[in-house]
């Protein structure tokens, strides 16, 4: 019996095993590791997040009005909400660890090209992120096991962004004899693996980074030359523009996110986003004249419905009312939308195209001072891709298959022009300015998809050929080549036009660094020195130091803009978007709280002036 | 030893098959009889037959037990001495001298025999030596409860056992918590064990499946059965509840929330018998709120059928109104048939049973069907080898409706009462009909939902185990047990394309196949002996344990139906089909040890320890050791107490224990996902990996007393416990996105719980013909979060965000069952701030603590009055001091469907109490609000109020859960019939009445499926139909 017992005992203990028995915690349905290049497509495509938040930023840069992000349009924010937190989510999570892995794995494998591309994108994303939000957890980001993530100040983040960009250049310039076949080219939706263009892109990141510092007191001594040098090694023509190409496919796409965020298929720009009256004023040369005593516009005695007000003498971009060659900027036709020519007739006829009427809305209502602003697709209706009358796949950049624009040669040239201007190299500035405007014409023309004549089914209301003809005339005309009173306003406002609306984030950077042309003295615009609890005194358009002619905040002293900010603003416009609520205010509060000079938890944190826009060093 | 896990698997499978083979062949072969047959009745001094009395052949372990009627039958040689024993009676010996032997037992108030409880792995432990709280429920209590599943039947009977059913619908899942919640994101259910083998009690978790993000599949809107419902209550011999981590320490990780140990019936020796029982039960919905029928749809007093809210004008005279809520209801019918055969000799017994349950719910179209087939037995194979085994097959089919704001009740209440909702089809017989009068197209007809959509699950499951018990030498044993719980489950959710606003949907079909396979092996070996003139007892036990939980899921989801009325994945646009698979495996190996020393059968000290190795933790942390120590002292055995006649038994006990707990599978490594963006490739998902995960540790301590007084007529127990749950593994923990992830799996939380449980049971009357017994039990528990990462102000379970902004928010210093929400703004003095413009209270934008869902007291009352053959019994359960979220009333106010909303709109202008927020609110002289607000001029928004308005505090609640009248046919009547051995007739009413100061539907509702885990949805009342009132009539017959 004992024998039996021992036999049975040993039989059971044969089941007692070894380590392998426990080795079953492997995910058989999803990999835990992927080669670096397999992350690349996703990282590039995540830049659609910029268009997501662009809907909050464009109203802050007075490009658009909105009924959705109205709190942002009014220089406040959505309390307790994640809105306008998508760039945050993109940088930390959607690219985040994926990008870190791609860089680290590539460096370990000595895949210098892939690592260099990674660093370039990392620099671009963090530059954008700090410009929108200011202080960020950077040193603590992606460190495993941390339960709190302290913030780095913007000054350090700025330096780090450029360091990453230079690191990128260094890696990309290294000899890399690895055979990638199509591993990079088929996953890189920005430059298809073109190393030279990536190097130029990394320099563009440096230019854009330094360009936001032009109003700092030490710009000329510390940053100007670095900017000028980087610009020379950056983009050489609009062919180098950084864009993210997408598959599109509209309704037959396997995933709707194959389509552009601003296309009709995604339904993200119904009729709740529309061009701002300021955009219409700038693009069509109809910035009104305000009575400096009352702030009122002057009604014309013989006004027609479309031009009811007297216009300011000094229009910067164009003077459409003067119907002479060179006075018409054709970009209005594509960048703005119009309800004119509903049936898409005579799209190659200049006289017809020039008669289109453009209406802009206010910050929070499509119903503007002159007329109702249509959707970006050109109808006073929600976007639609089917029905008797519809928007098709959209138009221009607002099209299902339009690539996402990240930065352009034009933008870099305007940055260069501004740097030359600041360093008193006016002739060089004027040359860069002209290259910039010309380049933006080419960039703008590239995305034209002319509608079908007689068919109200979407598309642009101009042909590319006509656009180019009008563009050439304009470039030779009195507002570009023939300019006699070249000024900083021309550089900055043409830059603003070129950024419309894809570069709203950068346009907002420029507006903030010039402090929205708030009328202040001394180095620090603040309550009592530029604004009070209730009003912001802005420079009049006649003031030569005013950069953005016609730009008035809401509230300001002019007609249609009088009012008050949210009481928490303490009279100040918004200078940053608060960090994403459900990342920081819910789960990282203590770290946010200790920020200076204004605590991240203060009711007016969104008015805290970021370092880049602050003339000197911030008070602590 | 094995080169791959697959080999290992197939090896084990073969081994298990071999055991089953042995089981079936031996159990039938051993049913042979011998000797002479002795039978008789065992009764007490009053003549009342005593069931469950043990009758053993002296000097052996052979024997039998008396049946329900106190009868027994045993085959022994003439002249054999029988030892007859029963708890609470004096042991006696009788010599067999003929075929009839009736025995009268004499109560023994002072000395108690060895009361045994079923502890881990089916092992018996002497109750005297147990240092932690346990409670045993007799199987007949479960069957007599009138409940179709044993989990619901336990409710109210065990202090500290909280059972919240997710709805009164057939097959609804139940959330069971023993003592207190111990995990704020993981499972809080106790371990269920059947004959020593873990039983899977999972509920379907839709997350991560194809189409899983849609509302068809969420823990708030859908619910599928808990697998614990599968078990046939008629197969239960007894249930032992091991509370807290300490009592079940040897079960390891899975029992850190305690364990519910089920022992199944194995057949009784003696004359074979056939038991037949059935009942029929009728149920009716009640307790749902009354809707106002005074005002029509509209706003601000003007009737307008463009609105769903009923703030319009009066209905015109003569307007026909329909009871649309009634249109979704019906009388539920439930029937169960159960047949069992059993028999055997003192060497071997066998039992087989078949049970069929058919149920239709109180909501039309809801159905539940269950078929149980079980076979079990035991055999003494040789002197040194004993065998036991059981196997249960369960097949279920369940048709459900959705819940919460997708429920038929919610939708029916939205339907305009001027329209007959029951007419749900459009004229073409295919489309959903829009209501008359009502002009918008945003109403969905719930009847269309019920008859044209499908929320269905079915399962086939086998739970089996075999065990062999060796006694190689005296005082030692080796027990080896193999168990296997395996099931195949299918879940279907189908949505008709016309079940959509304006009939403009696409239709969707989701099919999930989910299989699990949980094999386990337990090997135990022990030795016990007595020394020093039997004064010192020593017992030692070591064990090896191994288990696997394997889940295999495949799902497919598609949209765009080709034929609107056909429900199949083949009927969707092939281009829309998305499929997913999910396979996980968890394996645990463990070694346990137990050492007990006892002195004079009076004082005991037990050391227990276990070490586990889990596959789900990183290799360097995957081994974790946890010890426990228990002590007990039978005070009543002290000489000077023995002299006190009133005291029969007092035991003092205490225990300290630790239990480690591993993680869920696949939490260590990242999981990359494909993207839906151009170019594809891989990216991380929401949740970050954690390569440093450690086991979480629950440390518990308790002290208690068990006593029996006055000739055992008063029995009681009391326990006080404290636990600390540290290093909580929290899934989905949120931190800054700077972690690189939205959600993280971390060892972060620590919290403490403490509380008490008490029960007292009194035989108020005890005579030959009349007995009356009353039992009261209660429990109280509190908890406090001790640690969360500093930067995290609140952790919440997102699925509890069910009504307004109220959710279960967990923050340091507060109970883990805290409710948070957006409170009214208040000044430093605590006065509500009022808007100077509107006169309405201002709501804060921050979340703050609004209450605690855990009641002050949970209690149950049982009573049993027996007169001759007639028994009347009742069960009450209730709560005191609970806080309930009245989401139902909030919705009804918002829509103007409640009578309260009518009162408000008709009432006088209201001045909200508070101070004006005008800058003076925090000065010595704040401005008292005098702005009067006319509700009538407002639309629905004002009636909705703030979060604070819908939290009802200090809720008292008592429900008559069970009222039972049973009649047993008298013996003399039975004797006339040769066929009948016994016959019982009974009538049960369940959930008959509720007394409460709560104003919503169900104060004990649970708005979240048990699949959710974490803190659950108890205390959220959001449009769920409460348990219906039901009446059943039943019959139970034992045939000779």
What tens digit of pLDDT does each residue of A149-164 get? Answer: 999 999 999 999 999 9
CA distance B242 to chain A (A): 28
> Nearest to residue B356, comparing CAs of B463, B234, B459?
B234
Structural tokens at position B311: 């703030």
User: What is the spatial distance between Cα B334 and Cα B284, in angstroms, rounded to a whole number?
Assistant: 12
User: What is the spatial distance between Cα A374 and Cα A360, in angstroms, rounded to a whole number?
Assistant: 8
- The length of chain B is 1040
The answer to the question of residue B445 being in a domain is yes
The answer to the question of residue B323 being in a domain is no
The pLDDT of A310-326, averaged and rounded, is 88
CB-based contacts of B122-128 (< 8 A; 24+ apart in sequence)? B122/B195, B122/B196, B122/B263, B122/B388, B122/B467, B122/B479, B122/B481, B123/B196, B123/B479, B123/B524, B123/B541, B128/B598, B128/B601, B128/B602, B128/B604, B128/B632, B128/B634, B128/B651
Mean pLDDT check: name the lowest of A557-571, B178-192, B295-309, B653-667. Answer: B178-192
Q: How distant is the alpha carbon of residue A515 from its chain centre? A: 18
User: What is the spatial distance between Cα B632 and Cα B600, in angstroms, rounded to a whole number?
Assistant: 12
* Backbone phi and psi for residue A575, each to the nearest 5 degrees, phi listed first: -115, -10
Residue B483 confidence (pLDDT)? 94
CA distance B615 to chain A (A): 5
In a mutational test of the A interface, the residue from B19, B683, B691, B793 whose CB has the highest number of chain A CBs within 10 Å is B683
Q: Which of B575, B582, B622 lies closest to A29 in CB terms?
A: B582
Structural tokens at position B216: 């068809």
Residue B8 confidence (pLDDT)? 47
Cα dihedral sign, B304-B306-B312-B316: positive
> Nearest to residue B732, comparing CAs of A34, A87, A39, A587?
A587
- Chain A CB contacts of B679 under 8 Å are 40-42, 44-45, 186-187, 189, 247
Q: Which of A5, A20, A583 lies closest to B736 in CB terms?
A: A583
The answer to the question of residue B140 being in a domain is yes
High-pLDDT (> 70) share of chain B, %: 94
Chain B residue whose CA is closest to A583: B736
Contact B791 A89 (CB under 8 A): no
Quote the ipTM score: 0.93
Residue B584 confidence (pLDDT)? 93
Q: Which of A22, A27, A33 lies closest to B613 in CB terms?
A: A22
User: What is the spatial distance between Cα B516 and Cα B463, in angstroms, rounded to a whole number?
Assistant: 11
Alpha helices in B650-750 (DSSP H): none
Contact B736 A584 (CB under 8 A): yes
Q: How confident is the model at residue A8 (pLDDT cuts 50, 70, 90)?
A: low
A vs B: CB pairs below 8 A = 222
Contact B523 A12 (CB under 8 A): yes
User: What range defines the domain where residue B512 resides?
Assistant: 128-287+329-817+853-892+950-1039
CA-derived radius of gyration, chain B: 31
- Chain B CB contacts of A34 under 8 Å are 672, 681-682
Contact B734 A98 (CB under 8 A): no
High-pLDDT (> 90) share of chain B, %: 46
CA-derived radius of gyration, chain A: 27
Structural tokens at position B877: 């359960």
Omega cis (within 30) before A501: yes
The pLDDT of B622-639, averaged and rounded, is 92
What tens digit of pLDDT does each residue of B33-71 get? Answer: 457 888 888 887 766 778 778 888 888 777 888 876 788
In chain B, the number of structural domains is: 1
Q: Are strands B81-85 and A526-527 parallel, antiparallel or unpaired?
A: unpaired
Q: Are strands B1020-1021 and B870-886 parallel, antiparallel or unpaired?
A: parallel
- B716: domain CATH number is 2.40.170.20
- Chain A CB contacts of B918 under 8 Å are none
Chain A residue whose CA is closest to B11: A15
Most confident of A306-310, B499-503, B603-607: B603-607
The answer to the question of residue B116 being in a domain is no
Q: How confident is the model at residue A457 (pLDDT cuts 50, 70, 90)?
A: very high
Please determine, for residue B28, whether its predicted confidence score (pLDDT) is greater than 60. Answer: no
Compare A394 and B91 and report the one with higher pLDDT: A394
- Chain A CB contacts of B683 under 8 Å are 39, 42, 94, 98
Q: Which of B580, B682, B736 lies closest to A137 in CB terms?
A: B736
Q: How confident is the model at residue B19 (pLDDT cuts 50, 70, 90)?
A: very low
The pLDDT of B123-144, averaged and rounded, is 84
Residue pair B182/B188 in contact (Cβ under 8 Å)? The answer is yes
Contact A88 B737 (CB under 8 A): yes
Residue B108 confidence (pLDDT)? 64
Residue A10 confidence (pLDDT)? 53
The average confidence (pLDDT) of chain B is 87
The answer to the question of residue B924 being in a domain is no
Structural tokens at position A447: 């995305």
User: What is the spatial distance between Cα B426 and Cα B447, in angstroms, rounded to a whole number?
Assistant: 12
Residue B74 confidence (pLDDT)? 85
In a mutational test of the A interface, the residue from B592, B677, B688 whose CB has the highest number of chain A CBs within 10 Å is B677
Mean pLDDT check: name the lowest of A99-113, B88-102, B732-746. Answer: B88-102
CA distance B214 to chain A (A): 16
| CB-based contacts of B436, cutoff 8 Å, min separation 6 | B416, B418, B419
Q: Are strands B385-399 and B367-382 parallel, antiparallel or unpaired?
A: antiparallel
* Backbone phi and psi for residue A96, each to the nearest 5 degrees, phi listed first: 20, -115
What tens digit of pLDDT does each residue of B799-812 get? Answer: 788 888 899 888 99
Please determine, for residue B17, whether its predicted confidence score (pLDDT) is greater than 90. Answer: no
- Chain A CB contacts of B670 under 8 Å are 32, 97
| CB-based contacts of B313, cutoff 8 Å, min separation 6 | B295, B296, B298, B301, B302, B303
Mean pLDDT check: name the lowest of A65-69, B17-21, B117-121, B274-278. Answer: B17-21
The answer to the question of residue B196 being in a domain is yes
The answer to the question of residue B655 being in a domain is yes
Residue A18 confidence (pLDDT)? 57
Contact B678 A25 (CB under 8 A): no
Q: How confident is the model at residue B473 (pLDDT cuts 50, 70, 90)?
A: confident
CA end-to-end span of chain B: 54
Please determine, for residue B286, whether its predicted confidence score (pLDDT) is greater than 90. Answer: no
Neighbour count for residue A22 (Cβ, 10 Å): 21
Residue B31 confidence (pLDDT)? 42
Structural element, H or E, at residue B455: strand B454-470
Residue pair B590/B612 in contact (Cβ under 8 Å)? The answer is yes
Compare A361 and B269 and report the one with higher pLDDT: A361
Contact A28 B583 (CB under 8 A): yes
Compare B183 and A511 and report the one with higher pLDDT: A511
Chain B residue whose CA is closest to A246: B678
CA distance A32 to chain B (A): 5
CA distance A450 to chain B (A): 25
The answer to the question of residue B665 being in a domain is yes
CA distance B550 to chain A (A): 10
Please determine, for residue B525, whether its predicted confidence score (pLDDT) is greater than 80. Answer: yes
CA distances from A39 to A101, B433, B442, B679, B686 (A): 8, 49, 43, 10, 16
What tens digit of pLDDT does each residue of B843-898 get? Answer: 887 889 999 999 999 999 999 999 988 999 999 999 999 999 999 889 899 889 99
Residue B5 confidence (pLDDT)? 43
Chain A residue whose CA is closest to B5: A21
Please determine, for residue A93, whether its predicted confidence score (pLDDT) is greater than 90. Answer: yes
As beta bridge partners, residue B876 has: B861, B960
Compare A246 and B114 and report the one with higher pLDDT: A246
Residue pair B1028/B286 in contact (Cβ under 8 Å)? The answer is yes
CA distance B808 to chain A (A): 15
Please determine, for residue B26, whether its predicted confidence score (pLDDT) is greater than 50. Answer: no
CA distance B281 to chain A (A): 46
Contact A24 B582 (CB under 8 A): no
Please determine, for residue A435, whether its predicted confidence score (pLDDT) is greater than 70. Answer: yes
- Chain A CB contacts of B812 under 8 Å are none
């Amino acid at each position: 019996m004992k024998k039996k017992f021992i036999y049975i005992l040993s039989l059971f203990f044969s089941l007692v095993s070894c380590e392998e028995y426990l080795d079953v915690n492997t995910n058989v349905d999803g990999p835990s590791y992927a080669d670096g290049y397999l992350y690349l497509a996703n990282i590039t495509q995540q830049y659609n997040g910029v268009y997501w938040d662009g809907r909050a930023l464009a109203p802050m840069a007075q490009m658009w009005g909105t009924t959705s992000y109205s709190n942002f349009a009014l220089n406040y924010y959505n309390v307790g909400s994640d809105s306008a937190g998508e760039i945050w989510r993109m940088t930390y999570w959607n690219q985040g660890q994926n990008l870190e892995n791609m860089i680290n794995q590539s460096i370990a494998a000595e895949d210098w090209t892939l690592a260099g591309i990674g660093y370039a994108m990392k620099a671009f994303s963090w530059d954008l992120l700090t410009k929108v939000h200011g202080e960020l957890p950077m040193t603590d980001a992606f460190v495993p096991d941390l339960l709190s993530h302290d913030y780095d100040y913007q000054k350090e983040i700025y330096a780090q962004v450029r360091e990453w960009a230079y690191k990128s250049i260094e890696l990309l310039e290294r000899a890399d004899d690895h055979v990638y076949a199509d591993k990079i080219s088929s996953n890189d939706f920005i430059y298809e693996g073109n190393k030279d263009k990536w190097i130029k892109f990394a320099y563009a990141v440096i230019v854009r980074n330094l360009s936001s510092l032009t109003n700092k007191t030490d710009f000329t001594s510390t940053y100007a030359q670095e900017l000028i040098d980087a610009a020379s090694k950056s983009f050489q023509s609009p062919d180098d523009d950084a864009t993210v190409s997408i598959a599109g496919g509209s309704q037959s796409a396997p995933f709707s996110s194959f389509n552009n965020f601003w296309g009709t298929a995604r339904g993200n720009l119904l009729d709740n986003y529309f061009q701002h009256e300021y955009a219409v004023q700038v693009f069509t040369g109809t910035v009104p004249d305000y009575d400096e005593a009352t702030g009122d516009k002057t009604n014309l005695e013989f006004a027609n419905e479309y031009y009811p007000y007297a216009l300011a003498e000094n229009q910067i971009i164009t003077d459409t009312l003067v119907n002479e060659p060179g006075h018409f900027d054709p970009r209005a036709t594509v960048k703005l939308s119009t309800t004119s020519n509903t049936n898409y007739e005579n799209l190659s006829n200049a006289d017809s195209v020039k008669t289109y009427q453009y209406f802009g809305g206010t910050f929070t209502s499509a119903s503007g001072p002159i007329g109702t602003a249509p959707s970006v697709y050109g109808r006073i209706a929600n976007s639609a891709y089917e029905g008797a009358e519809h928007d098709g796949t959209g138009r221009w950049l607002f099209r299902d298959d339009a690539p996402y624009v990240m930065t352009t040669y034009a933008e870099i040239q305007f940055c260069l022009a501004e740097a030359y201007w600041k360093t008193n190299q006016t002739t060089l500035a004027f040359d860069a300015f002209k290259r910039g405007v010309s380049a933006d014409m080419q960039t703008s023309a590239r995305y034209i998809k002319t509608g079908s004549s007689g068919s109200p089914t979407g598309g642009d209301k101009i042909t590319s050929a006509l656009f180019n003809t009008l563009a050439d005339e304009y470039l030779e005309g009195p507002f570009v080549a023939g300019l006699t009173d070249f000024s900083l306003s021309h550089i900055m406002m043409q830059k603003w036009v070129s950024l419309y609306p894809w570069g709203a984030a950068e346009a907002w950077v420029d507006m903030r660094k010039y402090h929205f042309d708030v009328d202040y003295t001394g180095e620090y615009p603040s309550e009592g020195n530029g604004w009070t609890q209730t009003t912001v005194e802005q420079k009049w358009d006649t003031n030569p130091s005013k950069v953005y002619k016609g730009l008035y905040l809401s509230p300001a002293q002019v007609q249609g803009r009088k009012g008050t900010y949210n009481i928490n603003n303490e009279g100040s416009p918004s200078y940053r978007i608060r960090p994403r609520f459900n990342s920081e205010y819910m789960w990282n509060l203590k770290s946010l709280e200790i920020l200076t000079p204004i605590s991240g938890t203060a009711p007016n944190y969104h008015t805290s002036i970021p370092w880049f826009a602050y003339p000197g060093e911030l008070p602590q | 030893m094995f080169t791959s896990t697959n080999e290992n698997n197939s090896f084990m499978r073969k081994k298990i098959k071999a055991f089953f083979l042995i089981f079936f062949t031996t159990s039938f072969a051993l049913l042979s009889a011998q000797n002479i047959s002795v039978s008789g009745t065992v009764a007490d001094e009053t003549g009342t037959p005593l069931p469950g009395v043990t009758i053993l052949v002296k000097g052996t372990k052979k024997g039998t037990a008396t049946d329900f009627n106190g009868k027994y039958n045993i085959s022994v040689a003439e002249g054999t001495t029988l030892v007859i024993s029963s708890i609470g009676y004096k042991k006696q010996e009788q010599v067999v001298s003929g075929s009839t032997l009736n025995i009268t037992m004499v109560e023994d108030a002072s000395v108690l025999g060895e009361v045994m409880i079923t502890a881990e792995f089916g092992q018996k432990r002497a109750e005297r030596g147990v240092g932690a709280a346990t409670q045993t429920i007799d199987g007949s209590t479960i069957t007599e409860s009138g409940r179709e599943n044993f989990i619901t039947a336990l409710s109210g009977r065990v202090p500290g056992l909280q059972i919240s059913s997710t709805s009164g619908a057939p097959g609804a899942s139940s959330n069971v918590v023993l003592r207190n919640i111990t995990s704020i994101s993981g499972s809080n259910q106790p371990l269920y064990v059947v004959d020593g083998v873990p039983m899977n009690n999972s509920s379907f978790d839709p997350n991560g499946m194809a189409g899983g993000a849609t509302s068809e599949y969420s823990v708030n809107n859908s619910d599928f059965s808990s697998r614990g419902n599968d078990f046939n209550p008629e197969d239960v011999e007894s249930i032992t509840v091991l509370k807290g981590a300490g009592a079940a320490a040897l079960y390891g990780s899975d029992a850190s929330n305690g364990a519910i140990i089920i022992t199944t019936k194995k057949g009784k020796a003696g004359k074979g018998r056939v038991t037949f029982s059935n009942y029929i039960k009728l149920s009716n919905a009640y307790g749902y709120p009354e809707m106002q029928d005074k005002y029509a749809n509209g706003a601000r007093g003007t009737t307008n059928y463009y609105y769903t809210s009923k703030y319009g004008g009066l209905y015109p005279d003569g307007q026909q109104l329909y009871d649309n809520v009634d249109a979704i209801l019906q009388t539920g019918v439930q029937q169960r048939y159960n047949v069992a055969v059993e028999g055997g000799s003192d060497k071997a017994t066998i039992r087989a049973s078949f049970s069929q349950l058919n149920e239709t719910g109180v909501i039309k179209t809801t159905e539940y069907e269950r078929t149980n087939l079980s076979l079990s037995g035991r055999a003494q194979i040789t002197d040194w080898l004993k065998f036991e085994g059981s196997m249960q097959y369960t097949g279920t089919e369940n048709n459900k409706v959705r819940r919460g704001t997708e429920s038929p009740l919610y939708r029916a209440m939205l339907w305009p009462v001027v329209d007959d909702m029951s007419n749900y089809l459009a004229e073409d017989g295919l489309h959903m009909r829009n209501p008359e009068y009502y002009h918008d197209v945003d109403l969905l007809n719930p009847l269309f939902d019920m008859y044209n959509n499908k929320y269905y699950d079915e399962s086939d499951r086998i739970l089996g185990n075999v065990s062999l018990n060796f006694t190689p030498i005296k005082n030692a044993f080796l027990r080896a047990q193999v168990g296997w719980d395996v099931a195949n489950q299918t879940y279907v959710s189908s949505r008709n394309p016309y079940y959509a606003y304006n009939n403009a949907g696409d239709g969707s079909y989701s099919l999930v196949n989910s299989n699990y396979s949980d094999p386990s092996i337990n090997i135990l070996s022990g030795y016990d002996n007595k020394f020093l003139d039997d004064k010192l007892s020593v017992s030692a036990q070591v064990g090896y344990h191994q288990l696997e939980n394997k889940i295999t899921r495949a799902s497919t989801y598609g949209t765009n139906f080709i034929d609107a009325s056909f429900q199949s994945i083949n009927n969707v646009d092939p281009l829309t089909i998305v499929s997913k698979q999910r396979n996980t495996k968890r394996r645990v190996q463990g070694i346990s040890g137990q050492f007990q020393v006892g002195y004079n059968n009076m004082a005991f000290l037990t050391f227990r320890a276990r070490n586990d190795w889990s596959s789900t933790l990183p290799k360097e942390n995957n081994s974790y050791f946890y010890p426990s120590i228990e002590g007990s002292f039978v005070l009543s055995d002290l000489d000077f107490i023995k002299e006190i006649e009133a005291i029969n038994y007092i035991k003092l006990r205490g225990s300290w224990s630790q239990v480690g707990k591993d993680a869920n599978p696949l939490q260590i490594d990242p999981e990359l996902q494909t993207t839906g963006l151009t170019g594809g490739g891989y990216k991380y998902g929401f949740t970050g990996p954690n390569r440093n995960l450690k086991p979480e540790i629950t440390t518990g301590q308790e002290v208690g007393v068990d006593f029996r007084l006055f000739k055992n007529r008063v029995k009681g127990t009391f326990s006080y416990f404290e636990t600390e749950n540290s290093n909580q593994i929290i899934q989905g923990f949120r931190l800054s996105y700077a972690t690189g992830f939205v959600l993280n799996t971390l060892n972060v939380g620590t919290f403490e719980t403490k509380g008490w449980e008490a029960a007292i049971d009194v035989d108020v009357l005890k005579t030959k013909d009349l007995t009356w017994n009353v039992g009261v039990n209660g429990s109280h528990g509190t908890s406090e979060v001790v640690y969360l990462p500093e930067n995290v102000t609140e952790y919440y379970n997102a699925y509890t965000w069910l009504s307004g902004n109220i959710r279960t928010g967990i923050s340091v210093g507060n109970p883990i069952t805290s409710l948070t929400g957006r409170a009214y703004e208040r000044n430093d003095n605590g006065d509500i701030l009022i808007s100077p413009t509107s006169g309405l209270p201002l709501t804060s934008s921050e979340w703050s603590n609004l209450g605690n869902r855990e009641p002050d007291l949970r209690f149950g009352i049982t009573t049993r009055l027996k007169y001759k053959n007639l028994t009347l019994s009742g069960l009450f359960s209730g709560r005191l001091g609970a806080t309930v979220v009245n989401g139902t009333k909030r919705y009804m106010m918002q829509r103007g469907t409640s009578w309260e909303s009518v009162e408000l709109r008709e009432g006088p202008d209201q001045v909200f109490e508070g101070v004006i927020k005008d800058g003076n609110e925090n000065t010595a002289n704040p401005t008292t609000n005098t702005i009067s607000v006319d509700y009538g001029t407002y639309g629905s928004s004002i009636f909705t109020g703030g979060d604070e308005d819908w939290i009802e505090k200090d809720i008292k609640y008592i429900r008559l859960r069970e009222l039972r009248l049973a009649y047993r046919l008298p013996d003399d009547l039975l004797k006339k019939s040769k066929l009948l051995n016994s016959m019982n007739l009974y009538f049960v009413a369940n959930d008959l009445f509720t007394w409460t100061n709560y104003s919503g539907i169900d104060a004990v509702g649970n708005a979240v499926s048990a699949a959710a885990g974490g803190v659950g949805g108890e205390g959220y009342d959001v449009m769920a139909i409460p348990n219906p009132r039901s009446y059943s009539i039943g019959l139970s017959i034992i045939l000779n």
